Amino acid sequence: MEYRHLGKAGIRVSALSFGSWVTFHNQADVQSAVEMMAAAYDAGVNFFDNAEAYAGGKSEEVMGAAFKQLKWRRGSFLVSTKFYWGLNDGVNENHTLNRKRLIEGINGSLERFQLDYVDLIYCHRPDKTTPIEETVWAMHNIIEWGKALYWGTSEWSAAEIVSAIEIANRHHLHKPVTEQPVYNLFERHRFTREYERVYKEYGYGTTTWSPLASGLLTGKYNAGIPQGSRATLQGYDWLREDLTNKEKIAKVQALEPLAKELGCTLSQLALAWCLKNPYVSTVITGASRVEQVHENMKAVEIAPMLTPEILEQIDSIFGVKQEEED
Ligand SMILES: NC(=O)c1ccc[n+]([C@@H]2O[C@H](COP(=O)([O-])OP(=O)(O)OC[C@H]3O[C@@H](n4cnc5c(N)ncnc54)[C@H](OP(=O)(O)O)[C@@H]3O)[C@@H](O)[C@H]2O)c1
């Protein structure tokens, strides 16, 4: 496994990490979580991603129970959670980054994880109605109290990120160190263009999500929706249209000869492509079964095989011209 600094922060994250969105509680019980987390850890993964909203808090409970069983040294892994959507309908309790909610949020998460602290907390989305200054102060206080060690943003605009960093700098507060953006062969525009300034000028890190576009890039949807896949799950109907999009599937099919040439699977090729971007600190992988973890972890061996010529071929399949990337 390769380890990369989380932007300018002192900690290093494994280039491939492991997250629990959709899967924990819905598809994986504690035993299955233990199996998958152990497979990831044995492959060198040191970062496990979660959020209070995943499975309404149950995802944190499952991961916490898995940590208990796995008995890993606390210094050997990093765990995160995120706040924004909330768990209740109260007026101050959802779609918000207000101080009250963030502080109640971290206390609830630590209880569900059965941990004294998490390593990273994220603002899961921007909140246009709470002043960024209030959010920055709350995140700073949570860190000062030792309940979290670093903080970051997820799907914030570059302008919002810069504003948070500048507020923190002005008041000598803990500043956010990383963004958690979507990044995969289909969705790269914001990552490569909008955020360039925050990587270059502010040394911001990135922990990227949905590297396989929810499974579409594995090729599993090429011949329809397979039984037990994410597209069949109750509550995830909104993903189905994308996962069965004919144009997207044609692009996935066009990647197949390239994967064959490289002697790897489509999943490994799609993950390896994410790893090639030097602004990616870690690619957060997802899996519903341990076999997927074993397969996906091998992507670190494929990344060095992606030459500039192969990357160009991939770009032409996905209809990206080099000048669009620059
Ligand atoms: N910050 C945010 O807003 C945000 C949003 C989304 C995700 N995330 C984070 O990013 C993590 C990864 O996102 P993601 O789960 O969407 O990642 P993904 O890699 O795009 O999709 C993972 C899913 O694809 C399928 N899959 C994975 N490997 C496979 C393989 N080798 N063969 C066949 N199928 C395979 C599995 O679903 P099935 O087996 O069910 O088909 C798996 O659960 C999440 O767990 C979460 O931590 C963050």
- Grouped pLDDT means (10 residues each) for the chain, 326 residues: 97 98 97 98 98 98 98 98 97 97 98 98 98 98 98 97 98 98 93 90 97 98 96 93 96 97 98 97 98 98 97 94 55
- 185 CB less than 6 Å from ligand 1? no
pLDDT, position 193: 85
pLDDT, position 321: 67
- 126 CB less than 6 Å from ligand 1? no
pLDDT, position 324: 56
Which residues are catalytically annotated?
A: 54
Query: Which numbered atom of ligand 1 lies nearest the CA of 27?
Result: 40
Query: What CA–CA distance (Å, rounded) separates 14 from 298?
Result: 13
Name which residue sits closest to atom 43 of ligand 1, judged by CA: 287
Measured in Å, residue 287 CA sits from the centre of ligand 1 at 6
- 49 CB less than 6 Å from ligand 1? yes
Name which residue sits closest to atom 35 of ligand 1, judged by CA: 215
CA-based radius of gyration for the chain: 19
| 3-state SS, residue 91 | coil
Please say whether the beta carbons of 16 and 1 come within 8 A.
yes
Name which residue sits closest to atom 31 of ligand 1, judged by CA: 292
| pTM, rounded to two decimals | 0.97
| 3-state SS, residue 12 | strand
How many C-beta neighbours within 10 Å does residue 231 have? Answer: 21
Please say whether the beta carbons of 123 and 97 come within 8 A.
yes
Closest to 9 (Cα-Cα) out of 156, 176, 192: 176
Contacts 24+ apart (CB under 8 A), 222-227: 222/249, 222/252, 222/253
E strands of the chain, at which residues?
3-5, 12-14, 16-19, 47-49, 78-83, 118-123, 148-153, 178-179, 205-208, 282-285
Measured in Å, residue 7 CA sits from the centre of ligand 1 at 23
pLDDT, position 190: 86
Q: How many residues does the chain have?
A: 326
